[in-house]
Structure 1
Amino acid sequence: MSTQSYVKILNEWDIVAARQVGRNVAKELGFGTVDQARITTTISELARNIYLYAGQGEIGIEKLWDNGRTGLRVIAEDKGPGISDIRRVMEDGYTTSGGLGAGLPGVKRLMDEFEIDSEVGVGTKITTTKWIR
């Protein structure tokens, strides 16, 4: 079973709004403060990527209940240019924005599950999940 919220990413303020929704949902589900920070960092990174590279998209925040486990799924989706070399963007230190390069490898480390699907000229969908331990 799951319930989902969406935040459209059109400008920098939407990144803040998505983070806030994510933090509230994580707190509501019972995540500790460290995992709340991991989740909000993930949302921030994914929303920032949408804003910088695709111009617009959305962040979905989904509450999960599966076989007695409780979790939170973050889905970042855009119809941007897509990623031509997924292996390269998953390398630590790789950056095209002049940022710290924690990027997607950092997101993968912060969450329990990570999946990326991208097609050049079509867009990108990144799905990440965090479970309460």
Structure 2
Amino acid sequence: MEMPYCIPILTEQDIVTARQMGRKLAKDLGYGMIFQSRIATAISELARNIFLYADSGSVKINIIEKEGKVGLAVVAEDQGQGIRDIKKAMEDGYSTSGGLGAGLPGVKRLMDQFTIESQAGKGTRVEIVKWRD
């Protein structure tokens, strides 16, 4: 397993950097164009959430291997206010920013694995994985 790539999320440019890094790693691992786009979109959404809702955070992207399968794991962590109601945040169409609300439920649909932990006043951690076929 390689060392994770860690992109601090402080500016809008950092969102682009994280997205591009995810796409590049997916391409290097042999994911097709559609899966490269899905991974980049999921990373972009998570990084944007950090930028919009938390003071600071990071996106870590790592190549993983399990039972002979290769995948990309992404951990998006912040030290923001946390998500008050995760169940509500996971509903399609729910948005606190006035956006389309594709956010977290969309990320979950794009990836093979999705876990979220959030604590009021402490921040949020989302971990996603996309396995290569």
Give TM class, smaller chain.
over 0.9
The CA deviation at 1:3 is: 3.1
Secondary structure (helix, strand or coil) at the match of 2:31 reads coil
Structure 2 counterpart of 1:83: 83
Structure 2's unaligned 5+ residue stretches are none
- Alignment length, in residue pairs? 133
User: In 2, distance between residues paired with 1:22 and 1:49?
Assistant: 16
| Structure 1 segment 48-67 matched on structure 2, within 5 A | 48-67=48-67
Secondary structure (helix, strand or coil) at the match of 2:4 reads strand
Task: State whether residues 55 and 80 of structure 1, in contact with CA within 8 Å, keep that contact through their aligned partners in structure 2.
Answer: yes
User: In 1, distance between residues paired with 2:20 and 2:103?
Assistant: 20
Structure 1's unaligned 5+ residue stretches are none
Output the TM-score relative to the length of structure 2.
Answer: 0.97
The CA deviation at 1:2 is: 4.4
Identity %: 57
Structure 2 counterpart of 1:102: 102
Please tell me the root mean square deviation across aligned C-alpha atoms, in Å: 0.8
Output the TM-score relative to the length of structure 1.
Answer: 0.97
Quick one: which amino acid aligns to residue 65 of structure 2?
Answer: W
Task: State whether residues 2 and 65 of structure 1, in contact with CA within 8 Å, keep that contact through their aligned partners in structure 2.
Answer: no
User: In 1, distance between residues paired with 2:2 and 2:129?
Assistant: 12
Structure 2 counterpart of 1:124: 124
- Which aligned segments of 4 or more residues in structure 1 are displaced greater than 6 angstroms? none
User: In 2, distance between residues paired with 1:56 and 1:45?
Assistant: 15
